[in-house]
Chains A and B, each alone.
Chain A
Amino acid sequence: MSLPGSNFSDDVRVAVADPQLQRAMRHVKEGFIGKRAKAAARLPEFEALRDAARDIKNHTLAHLDLYLEHYEAQVTASGGHVHWCAGPTEARAVILDICRQAGARTVTKGKSMIGEEIDINAHLEAAGITPVETDLGEYIVQMRHERPSHIIAPAVHLTKDLIEADFRAQHRQFPADRSLSQVPELVDEARQVLRQRFLDADVGITGANFLVAETGSSIIVTNEGNGDLTQILPRVHIVVASLEKIVPTFEDAATLLRVLARSATGQEFSTYTTVSTGPKRPDDGDGPAAYHVVLLDNGRSDLLDGPFREILRCIRCGACINHCPVYHAIGGHAYGSVYPGPIGAVLTPALVGIEAAADLPEASTFCGRCEEVCPVRIPLPKLLRHWRERAFERRVTPRAVRAGIGLWAFFARRPALYGFATGLAARLLGAAGRRRGRFARLPLAGGWTRFRDLPAPEGRTFRNQWAARKRHRP
């Protein structure tokens, strides 16, 4: 297995030269950004809700041990089981054990990034159990033996022609001459195929967007309804979630839900927000007989103490990815990690070690858009800079970058000079690039602009704007 970002520059070269990928990536830029902006504009309280969301997460992280203990007690009281797992090995062992005890042959899965993090599908298959991804994007990606290229839109790197070709190759039960070039036809065919899989499954695995301490509940947010069929129909429901998903109360969850869908897809609210608590009750007509929560640490408890605590506020909305010019240019796979984009560039080194992921914090233009849109106000550029410094200290920074950082460090230790130099550069570049808003070519940055347009600075640096913004805040 290759390390995250270990072939980063090669993968980037391939990605930017791939016309199919570049066509598909247009949908990210054209779709997500405008939708989020409109949803935010429709809700006058949106910015204040982001502050509230940040504060809820900060409070919860400062009391994480206590909320998790309360949560565990409530899950147990409602008849469920909590399995604490330090790392992927433990989590996989617990899940396999539950599946074996249930005599499981097939397992349906709702979308779960933690499932990707612990690579559960490969281990289920090795144990002779068939995992079936049921989110349409995940289903397509699984069919292609690929990884999701986006945390909320797993197949965003694909065009519909490619998907049609895959369906024709895999769904041999349908007439070869059927019409399948339109999106509704593709969705309908997947619906038919997966319907039987839902009915046949022995165990359903979902992730969780939130865990609620108050009642020991898990919450999933979807649009398709696949997560619900995954957890209603089989005999056993397994939730895989990481520690930081916990929130104290439903009131807190409501605040976070108000910013989640708007930031992610620009929806007022996702179609399905489902709260699950324990197994089915004795007189319930349906639902699983057993309810397990696999609670994964995998390095998060270490992050709690130190500069990276803030990344644990992340609610995985994907907004930072959708707004990232680097992601637009290279897609999700080039990152080589489970989590792409700015969130991935910060989180992955924490999960696998900076030595193994030193390239990822370099995958940024520091344009600051990710922080501008993050619903829980994570200072992603600042955290990326922390990683760069650590990589530099440990001398694992890619060699080409070291010289550049040396120069940067010279200025960084002299803030006034840095402010002057970058301010000057920004104004010059801003003036020069204003006509198109982007540079296709920049002197001394050929390695960068050969494959991407560099957004033209708008005439002020991030530091200028930040200082100005601070002044305007009460």
Chain B
Amino acid sequence: MGSAQKAPSVSGDRERVLGSLRRALGRGQEAAADAAARAAVAQRIDEHRRGLIPARSQLDPAQQVALFETMACQQAATVGHVAHRDAVPAAIADYLKEANLPPRLRVAPDPALTGLPWDTQPLLEISTGRAAADDTASLTGAFAGIAETGTLMLRSGAQHPTSLNFLPDVHIVVLRAADVVGPYEEAWDRLRAHEGDGAMPRTVNFVTGPSRTADIEQTIQLGAHGPRRLHIILIDETD
């Protein structure tokens, strides 16, 4: 490949673009105005002040869980409840059977999930790791549930490969009721507390119901490319 095909000098474009932005915004004319603009930007980023938050999501914890469930179901997710995490394997075995799906499950390498009493379900075939192309069902945890719109917040990491959220036909998510928050803003605060300010995992997925498309004649059809079903198991325990 000849040098003629090399990308044009990108740093050249950086100065060109920034230069024309600065000109358009009148920078470099008044030192005080420039300093004020810088201060405003720094403050906005540091403060991450909340905007207008819909009243709908500002509820007591029990009502939040109820709203989460209502909203998630409106978006075609299904929700099951267990009183204790030890009941999760049985709930999954029942769900797969009722849905007429093979008793196979790819489980996220998360000790809270791999440590569940799977031996109570000898017919369920369990493997762990990232999703493979022919996986039918996956199981992951969730970083938070957002009541406002029935949305799951999923955080990528060693314990949660993102492919599990998208490749299998069925995505099953275990969510502790204690991890349900009201609005998106509360979920961000939790994430910031977890990661440290300014840091982020590679991927944060907000998931509201199963995959869908309306690209053909505005007809909504589930299971476009991602999961055809999203099943959420809420653990009601308050440990």
Contacts and interface: CB of A to CB of B under 8 A. Distances in A.
A183 B221 contact: yes
Interface in B24-54: 24-25, 27, 37-38, 40-41, 44-45, 48-52, 54
B210 A271 contact: yes
Contact of B185 (A136, A160, A254): A254
A232 B217 contact: no
A332 to B, nearest CB: 14
Contact of A66 (B6, B13, B38, B183): B38
A140 B215 contact: yes
B135 to A, nearest CB: 12
B17 A301 contact: yes
A154 B150 CA distance: 28
A283 B215 contact: no
Interface string A244-276: 000011111011011000000101111111111
A70 B226 contact: no
Contacts of A248: 41, 44-45
Contact of A215 (B24, B49, B150, B200): B200
Interface stretch (A222-230, A384-392, A423-431, A445-453): A222-230
A225 B224 contact: yes
Interface string A430-445: 0000000000000000
Contacts of B224: 136, 187, 191, 223-226
A163 interface: yes
B133 A64 contact: no
Contacts of B162: 228, 232, 286-287
Contacts of B200: 78, 215, 217, 275, 277-278
Contacts of A258: 54
Interface residues of B, number: 84
Contact of B213 (A70, A78, A156, A224): A224
Interface in B192-231: 198-219, 221, 223-227
B161 interface: yes
Interface string A22-59: 00100110111000000000011100110010001001
Contact of B133 (A84, A90, A93, A199): A199
Nearest to B230: A271
A405 interface: no
B217 A254 contact: no
Given A223-B224, A232-B166, A287 B203 contact: yes
A6 interface: no
B64 interface: no
Interface centre among A32, A156, A188, A232 (most CB of B within 10 A): A232
A214 B211 CA distance: 29
Contacts of B20: 297, 301-302
B211 to A, nearest CB: 4
Contact of A276 (B44, B74, B199, B203): B203
Contact of A159 (B203, B217, B225): B217
A65 B183 contact: no
Nearest to B156: A284
Contact of B13 (A63, A85, A214, A225): A85
Given A62-B25, A243-B21, A305-B23, A223 B212 contact: yes
A186 interface: yes
A286 B184 contact: no
B206 A160 contact: no
A268 B75 contact: yes
B165 interface: yes
Given A225-B227, A250-B188, A214 B45 contact: yes
B2 to A, nearest CB: 12
A269 B149 CA distance: 7
Nearest to B165: A228
A272 B152 CA distance: 10
Contacts of A463: none
Interface string A296-340: 010001101100000000000000000000000000000000000
A140 B218 CA distance: 14
B157 interface: yes
B17 A191 contact: no
A363 interface: no
B74 to A, nearest CB: 8
B202 A66 contact: no
B99 interface: no
A114 to B, nearest CB: 15
Contact of B51 (A56, A70, A265, A295): A56
Contact of A281 (B130, B201, B205, B212): B201
A269 B216 contact: no
Contacts of B27: 65
Interface in A162-221: 163, 183-184, 186-188, 191, 194-195, 198-199, 213-215, 217
Contacts of B130: 285-286
A407 B50 CA distance: 50
A100 interface: yes
Interface in B124-177: 129-131, 133, 149-151, 156-158, 161-163, 165-167
The 4 closest A-B pairs by CB, nearest first: A225-B226, A285-B161, A305-B24, A224-B224
Interface of A: 24, 27-28, 30-32, 43-45, 48-49, 52, 56, 59, 62-70, 74, 78, 83-86, 89-90, 93-94, 96-97, 100, 134-137, 140, 153-156, 158-160, 163, 183-184, 186-188, 191, 194-195, 198-199, 213-215, 217, 223-226, 228-229, 232-233, 243, 248-252, 254-255, 257-258, 265, 267-281, 283-287, 295, 297, 301-302, 304-305
Given A63-B40, A191-B225, A285-B129, 12 more contacts: A44-B54, A65-B22, A70-B41, A85-B10, A93-B7, A137-B215, A214-B198, A228-B166, A232-B203, A243-B21, A254-B183, A297-B20
